[in-house]
Amino acid sequence: MLEIVVKAENRERLVRVSAEELAVLVRRIGGDGDRFLVVQRIPDLPDVFAQVWHQAGGDYTVEYRDGSADRHFQAMADGPEAVIAAMTGWVRQEAGWGGALAWSPLDMGPAREVPPLDLDEDERGELEGRVREVLVAGYVSRAELAELAEEYLVAGDRRPVSRGQAEVLADRLWLERVAEQAGWRGETDPERLTRAFTALREAGITARENFTCCRGCGQAEIGGEGEPDARGYVYFHDQCTDSAAAGHGLTLLYGGFDNSSETTAAVGEEVVAALEAVGLHAEWDRDPGRAITVTPLDWRRRLVG
């Protein structure tokens, strides 16, 4: 798998696709509402991306940016194969990956001036503290983080953080977390959890991470998330994630779609078995009316973007 996120004009978002799947996507674009792809490496870094635009019957416009505005380049290709080779090489950071295309710099205009934040020490600390909490939880994108930073201190008509200031703050703290996670080695507990949830989905259990804001919304919406033949479900919501990130273990909510205690208990058994199979410890007294708690848990979830 390629460590990338691919976004399409049709709002499709794919995480970690194979080289073959990326090639299929490039060959597919060209129709109305499906004319471009944006590719970001994992973890996403500010102003580092590659993209391609194509209208059926025309050439392919390929671009990549490597940080600052003076590192933004464009090339044209007359067919998808040259694009596929260039984008795959860019993703893998292969030497000479773009040599088959004629690149030219794009003039992106002067850099945008963003004034410094005008916040007192308490407000700045509160804002940065909340942004860091969300980063530790690990499910946020850079765009979502900037939106949080912009809206967090809004009170009535007072909007003390502009969009540009929010993006600067979010990117600075994002890069701090990326640098921190670069020192992590091996599989982390959240990655083990993802493996367990993947196995449960393959076994006919609807399994969702960081799903909805609370239990009420989760219970109302989980039924529409799985396959028609799913026997049951397991999920945790935003508040569960925050608790796990703060070191308090992770609460898992589960049940059977037939609403019987027998099915709920059976689903609980499957969830515990899947967790134990990946090396996670679950606390549960086998009462279908009680949640499952994953503890101890070292919450180090790598950012994606």
Phi, psi of 127, deg, nearest 5 = -65, -50
Give the DSSP per-residue string, 127-157: HHHHHHHHHHH----HHHHHHHHHHTT-BTT
Q: 245 with 214: CB under 8 angstroms? A: no
Query: Which one-letter amino acid corresponds to residue 229?
Result: D
The domain segmentation of the chain, as residue ranges, is: 4-105, 121-181, 189-294
The angle at the Cα of 229, spanning 278 to 284, to the nearest 5 degrees, equals 40
Cα 140 to Cα 22, 174, 199, 305: the distances in Å are 24, 10, 24, 7
Res 95: pLDDT: 97
Res 187: pLDDT: 98
Res 226: pLDDT: 86
Backbone torsion region of residue 127, taken as left when φ is above 0, otherwise alpha when ψ lies between -120 and 50, otherwise beta: alpha
The first and second tokens of residue 224, run together, are 């529409």
Tell me which H or E stretch contains 49: strand 48-54
Give the DSSP per-residue string, 61-99: EEEEEESSGGGEEEEEESSHHHHHHHHHHHHHT-TTTTT
Centre a 10 Å sphere on the Cβ of residue 286 and count the other Cβ atoms it contains. Answer: 10
173 strand-pairing partners: none
Q: What is the pTM of this model?
A: 0.94
Res 217: pLDDT: 98
Q: 171 with 140: CB under 8 angstroms? A: no
Q: 207 with 200: CB under 8 angstroms? A: yes
Per-residue tens of pLDDT for the chain, all 305 residues: 999 999 999 999 999 999 999 999 999 999 999 999 999 999 999 999 999 999 999 999 999 999 988 999 999 999 999 999 999 999 999 999 999 999 999 998 888 899 999 999 999 999 999 999 999 999 999 999 999 999 999 999 999 999 999 999 999 999 999 999 999 999 999 999 999 999 999 999 999 999 999 999 999 999 999 889 999 999 999 999 999 999 999 999 999 999 999 999 999 999 999 999 999 999 999 999 999 999 999 999 999 99
CA torsion sign, 254 to 257 to 260 to 266? negative
Crossing angle for the helix pair 121-137 and 163-181, nearest 10 degrees? 50
Res 27: pLDDT: 98
Res 176: pLDDT: 98
Res 173: pLDDT: 98
The first and second tokens of residue 198, run together, are 């993947």
DSSP H helical ranges for the chain:
19-28, 80-92, 121-137, 142-151, 163-181, 189-202, 215-221, 238-245, 261-277
